[in-house]
Amino acid sequence: MVFRARRFMPAALLCCTFTVQASDVPTGDFWVIHHQGSLGTNQAFIADGDANNIYARPGGAKSLGVYQFNEAPGTPTFTAYDVEIDCAKNRVRIMGAQDYRSVFNELRPAKFSSQWQTKPEAWLVQSRDFVCRPTERQAKKMQHLGAMPASQMAKAGPELFRALNREALKATIMQQIDEAFAQMPAK
């Protein structure tokens, strides 16, 4: 496999601390395209929808960066994927992946299959829809985070987990209250 630095530049920039001028900071237009999991094990998938960061590939396919943030201990802080999408043939595949672990401040290659997916995972379907059906983003519950530097986007995953966990705790507490009221004797 040939390493293409351009593909993983956003991941590398998120991992490094260095001083640059404000005009040199890479930015993107980030969207939460999918989230899954539960309290303590959430995963959020964030795509960069900036037209300057979506690349044309041979055969009419397009490539974009998708970042999987993990909340569970022992998992990479995030994984940066290079996702290739062919809208005309309604297919998707992964062309590259890098895991970043903030505990060790290391970036390592992640395992992936570069085959066109016959039964893609939900986040890959959402990635395809993100590129191929941009007018349906709101209807598909994709949340716009906004345009920001890549380093700021790296903080969005943990913030999203805090919000998801608050909602999960609130729902659990409300369920317990409802169950308690249901068990109370009627007068």
The tens digit of pLDDT for each residue in 82-94 reads 999 999 999 999 9
Output the pLDDT for position 8. Answer: 41
> What pLDDT shows up at residue 17?
40
pLDDT for position 171: 76
Residue 90 structure tokens:
């309604």
Please count the structural domains in the chain: 1
Helices (H), ranges, the chain? 5-15, 122-132, 150-153, 156-183
Nearest to 122 by CA among 34, 47, 24: 34
Alpha-carbon span 96 to 45, nearest angstrom: 16
Highest mean pLDDT among 14-18, 58-62, 71-75, 160-164: 58-62
pTM of this structure: 0.74
pLDDT of residue 83: 96
Does the pLDDT at position 175 exceed 80? yes
Contact, 46 vs 31, CB < 8 A? yes
Q: Which domain holds residue 131?
A: 5-17+26-183
Return the higher-pLDDT residue of 81 and 158.
81
Cα separation, 177 vs 142, in Å, equals: 31
| pLDDT score of 15 | 44
pLDDT at 167 over 70: yes
Share of the chain above pLDDT 70, in %: 85
Residue 187 has a CB neighbour count (10 Å cut-off) of 3
Beta bridge mates, 149: 27
- Please provide the average confidence, as pLDDT, over all residues in the chain: 82
CA distance 120 to 166: 30
